[in-house]
Amino acid sequence: GLTEWLEGIAGLTLIHGHGRFDGRTDDGRFRVAVGDRVLSGKSVYINTGTRAITPSAPGIETVTPLDNAGLLALTELPEHLVVVGGSYIGLELGQIFRRLGSHVTILNRSGRLAGREDPDVAGIVADILRADGCDVMTNAAIASVGRSMRGILVTLEDGAEISASHILFATGRAPNTDRLNLGSVGLEADKRGYIGTDAALRTAVPGIWALGDVNGRGAFTHTSYHDHEIVLAAIDGMEGLHQWRDADQRPVTYAMFTDPPLGRVGLTKTEALAEV
């Protein structure tokens, strides 16, 4: 229904394909190539989002690693699901599949889960998952991945081995900027691939804006939606008239949809003490 809705909006043309910058026209407009077609415009709004980071563990080519989309597309319930990564996506899906009946092992490279949170909060999250029957292993760095009689064999750097039927990698996301040819218009991404902006979401190149996950300012559905409100306010000349139309001033709220859920707005205790 979304495609049909967009195609029905007057003045909007929906083009399917991979777009990339292709320099500028003689009069300074931005050129964007989509296949054999080249468009041009005075303004470009980059909203390309992120993708799951491709795992790089030795031996990964011998198995079928899953990301969140691949896990949810399964038609069978994993007998033993290994979740690599102790942040929000991994913890949410780990608990879900444990309650559905899978044996779930969560492997986190660092010493605690939910690294954004204060240590006491992270400890409570770990206790909740363990109470549900998840095996939670911290300081668990993967040495290799391979095949086993049960399907997958995960070997940790300390020598421990875990046999599983499925493996989910939830180790972060990468912005979709590597194929945009940003340099052709004088724009650069940071070392992680995100495009920096000011509070109104303008990039370093006048006329180019970066919204949503690709600017690294939130990576949540609601912050992405708010990004569009910020840009509209700037375009309409309302910039600075309201603090909620400023990406630097907004208090970011978010939730981790475990059961019970975790919600937060503003600073953690650790962050607040650092500002005293």
pLDDT tens digits, residue range 24-76?
Answer: 999 999 999 999 999 999 999 999 999 999 888 999 999 999 999 999 999 99
Q: How far is the CA of 148 from the CAs of 21, 36, 71, 129, in angstroms?
A: 46, 47, 20, 27
Q: pLDDT tier at 239 (50, 70, 90 boundaries)?
A: low
Nearest CA among 192, 190, 228, 225 for reference residue 209: 228
Checking 11-18 for CB contacts under 8 A at 24+ apart, the result is: 15/39, 18/179
Where are the CATH 3.50.50.60 domain residues in the chain? 2-51+186-237, 52-173+257-265
Residue type, 269: K
pLDDT above 90 for 96:
yes
Q: What is the DSSP letter of 53?
A: P
What predicted TM-score, i.e. pTM, was given to this entire model?
0.88
Q: What is the CATH number of domain 52-173+257-265?
A: 3.50.50.60
pLDDT for position 184:
98
Nearest CA among 94, 99, 144 for reference residue 114: 94
pLDDT for position 225:
92
In the structure encoding, which two tokens stand for residue 223, read together? 């912050």
Average pLDDT estimate for 76-88: 97
pLDDT in tens, 203-232: 999 999 999 999 999 888 899 999 999 999
Residue type, 8: G
pLDDT above 60 for 146:
yes
Class of domain 2-51+186-237: alpha beta
Q: pLDDT tier at 10 (50, 70, 90 boundaries)?
A: very high
Rounded-to-integer distance, Cα 193 and Cα 184, Å: 16
In the structure encoding, which two tokens stand for residue 238, read together? 């309302």
Q: What is the chain's alpha carbon radius of gyration, rounded to the nearest angstrom?
A: 22
Helix intervals (H) in the chain: 2-7, 68-72, 88-100, 119-131, 221-235, 269-274
Residue type, 152: I
